[in-house]
């Protein structure tokens, strides 16, 4: 019989994405073995993130200042907006250090199978930003799958009448991959997006 | 551990754990199957585009004893719907087809007819057919294969042959003859009844090439939606989204 406080912790941990019952139990026992200070530090970090983090009113990124550090950075080019599905996609693009524009987080992707329609994602906020002027390019960086592609098509349709260049991240072969393992869709997309060297 | 290798159409995938996907696919011989594709969410996955919804594949999997979720070992892409999904209406229609079949197909039983329906309708979308025509065809035929579509030939109450115009009685859940029709029975326009007849008799390619008007097909869809809702007790998640996209 597990003691109720421990069972409660295991139950809460097992609600986390990717954490099953066994993993939750392992994490709970690991926390029990740490010092009280370390456990409190984890608990405080969780409470802190809920108390201090909110969405940037401009781009929907997660932030603790308004507007977020990216939107308020004068070195960033506000004329180029990179559209991503979720805030956690931003660090992946930031890691490249090749993108100097700003972001717009849609808070999801069109997914008819999950009942997520155009009104459930923040395309309206993006249109408002483009309509307010000064935007030269919108880079659609939604996931390279059916849902991401449908979202990109929808955004392109909505931006069509506005004078802004709309681009999509390239599809193709992953760096370090082998051609022999590429499927026909990836290969044909890679051929379609080939460039002169 | 029983290895299987079969043709299949991917219906739906869900993220699972850190890098895996739970895949729902339809096979002609074993109906709907659920399986884990390990590492499928990684950018360098060996599964590539083969697990995208409505991809037709040759799939190898291992059944585990006392576990209804199989382990997917290999997937070779036969046909991808990705080219057709460069069109928003076709893309949403594809999701709708997947949800419709996912809802009505059974696990463990042969599903050759519904497999063939999904295969042909997907093929039609790839060939550039109108998504509205393809979807109306698939909706009517899914209901027919599931045994939910009421007879278009005989009265749902007295079994007498039906003439034209067709009369629809929501209380009787079907089409009724003039003698059995209550005063509030809905008279179905002859072109809608003709479209239903054509869908029953004609392959999807011919329906897609036909000149059945959009408003007639929307009527066919709303009748199909009535029977489906009546059976399921709810509407499919993608129904409203597709209707919005098709009407735009």
Q: Cα(B57)–Cα(B70) distance, rounded to whole angstroms?
A: 16
Q: What is the mean pLDDT of residues B241-245?
A: 91
Give residue A12's pLDDT.
Answer: 95
- As for the ipTM of the complex, it is 0.80
Chain pair A-B, CB pairs under 8 angstroms: 77
Cβ atoms of B36 and B72 closer than 8 Å: yes
Give residue B83's pLDDT.
Answer: 83
By Cβ distance, the residue of B46, B49, B95 closest to A185 is B49
Contact criterion met (CB < 8 Å) for A150 and B91:
yes
By Cβ distance, the residue of A115, A177, A186 closest to B237 is A115
Cβ atoms of B112 and B28 closer than 8 Å: yes
B7 φ, ψ (degrees, to nearest 5)? -80, 150
Which residues are within 8 A (CB) of B158 and not within 5 positions of it... i.e. 6 or more apart? B177, B179, B180
Lowest mean pLDDT among A124-133, B34-43, B193-202, B221-230: B34-43
Lowest mean pLDDT among A82-96, A129-143, B64-78: B64-78
Look at the block and give the residue holding tokens 């990124």: A61
Fold assignment, B84-247? de novo design (two linked rop proteins) (1.20.1440)
Q: Name the more confident of A122 and A115.
A: A122
Q: What is the mean pLDDT of residues A34-61?
A: 96
Helix axes A146-159, B88-104, angle to 10 degrees: 150
User: What are B147-188's pLDDT values in tens digits?
Assistant: 999 999 999 999 999 988 999 998 888 899 999 999 989 999
Q: What is the mean pLDDT of residues A54-59?
A: 96
Give residue B1's pLDDT.
Answer: 67
Cβ atoms of A164 and A129 closer than 8 Å: no
Q: Cα(B91)–Cα(B81) distance, rounded to whole angstroms?
A: 9
Cβ atoms of B210 and B136 closer than 8 Å: no
pLDDT above 80: residue A160: yes
In chain A, which residues have their Cβ closer than 8 Å to the Cβ of B44? 174, 176-177
B24 φ, ψ (degrees, to nearest 5)? -105, 120
CATH architecture of A62-196: 3-Layer(aba) Sandwich (3.40)
Q: Cα(B134)–Cα(B192) distance, rounded to whole angstroms?
A: 16
In chain A, which residues have their Cβ closer than 8 Å to the Cβ of B90? none
Cβ atoms of A85 and A142 closer than 8 Å: yes
Name the closest residue on chain B to residue A177, using Cα atoms: B44
> Strand B166-169 and strand B174-176: pairing?
antiparallel
The SS3 assignment for B85 reads helix
Q: Cα(A171)–Cα(B35) distance, rounded to whole angstroms?
A: 27
Domain ranges in chain B are: 2-79, 84-247
Decide if domain A4-52 falls under CATH 3.40.50.300: no
Contact criterion met (CB < 8 Å) for A183 and B95:
no
Q: In chain B, what is the straight-line distance between the N-terminal and C-terminal CA atoms, in Å?
A: 50
A96-130 burial, b at 16+ Cβ within 10 Å, e below that, comes to: eeebebbbbbbbbbbbbbbebbbebbbbebbeebb
Give residue A18's pLDDT.
Answer: 77
CATH number of B2-79: 2.40.50.140
- Interface residue B122 vs chain A (CB under 8 A): no
Domain ranges in chain A are: 4-52, 62-196
In chain A, which residues have their Cβ closer than 8 Å to the Cβ of B85? 146, 149-150
Q: Name the more confident of A193 and B145.
A: B145
Select from B58, B16, B54 the least CA-distant residue to B37: B16
B106 DSSP 8-state letter: P
> Strand A137-140 and strand A77-84: pairing?
parallel
């Amino acid at each position: 019989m597990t003691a109720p406080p421990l069972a409660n912790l295991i139950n809460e941990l097992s609600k986390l994405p990717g954490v099953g019952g066994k993993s939750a139990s392992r994490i709970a026992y690991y926390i029990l073995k740490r010092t009280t200070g370390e456990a409190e530090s984890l608990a405080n970090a969780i409470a802190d993130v809920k108390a201090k983090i909110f969405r940037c009113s401009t781009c929907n990124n997660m932030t603790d200042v308004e507007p977020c550090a990216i939107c308020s950075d004068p070195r960033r080019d506000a004329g180029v907006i990179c559209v991503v599905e979720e805030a956690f996609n931003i660090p992946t693009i930031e890691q490249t250090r090749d993108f100097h524009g700003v972001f717009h987080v849609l808070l999801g992707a069109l997914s008819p199978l999950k009942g997520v329609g155009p009104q459930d994602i923040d395309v309206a906020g993006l249109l408002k930003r483009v309509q307010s002027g000064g935007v030269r390019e919108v880079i659609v960086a939604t996931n390279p799958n059916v849902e991401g592609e449908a979202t990109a098509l929808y955004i392109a349709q909505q931006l069509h009448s506005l004078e802004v260049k709309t681009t999509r991240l390239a599809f193709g072969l992953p760096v370090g991959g082998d051609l022999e393992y590429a499927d026909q869709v990836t290969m044909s997309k890679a051929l379609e997006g080939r460039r002169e060297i | 551990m029983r290895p299987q290798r079969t043709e299949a159409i991917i219906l739906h995938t869900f993220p699972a754990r850190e890098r895996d996907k739970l895949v729902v696919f339809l096979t002609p011989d074993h109906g709907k199957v659920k399986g884990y594709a390990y590492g499928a969410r990684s950018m360098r996955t060996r599964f590539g585009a083969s697990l995208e919804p409505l991809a037709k594949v040759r799939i190898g999997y291992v059944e585990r004893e006392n576990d209804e979720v199989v382990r997917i070992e290999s997937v070779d892409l036969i046909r991808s719907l990705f080219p057709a999904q460069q069109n928003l209406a076709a893309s949403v229609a594809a999701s709708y087809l997947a949800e419709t079949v996912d809802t009505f197909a059974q696990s463990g039983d042969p599903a050759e007819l519904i497999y063939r329906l999904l295969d042909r309708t997907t093929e039609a979308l790839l060939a550039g057919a109108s998504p509205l025509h393809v979807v109306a065809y698939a909706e009517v035929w899914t209901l027919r294969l599931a045994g939910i579509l009421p007879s278009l030939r005989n009265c749902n109450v007295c079994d007498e042959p039906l003439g034209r115009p067709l009369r629809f009685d929501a209380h009787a859940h079907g089409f009724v003859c003039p003698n059995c029709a209550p005063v509030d029975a809905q008279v179905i326009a002859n072109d809608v009844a003709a479209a239903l007849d054509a869908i029953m008799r004609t392959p999807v390619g011919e329906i897609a090439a036909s000149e059945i008007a959009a408003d007639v097909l929307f009527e066919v869809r709303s009748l199909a939606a009535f029977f489906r809702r009546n059976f399921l007790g709810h509407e499919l998640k993608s129904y409203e989204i597709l209707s919005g996209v098709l009407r735009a």
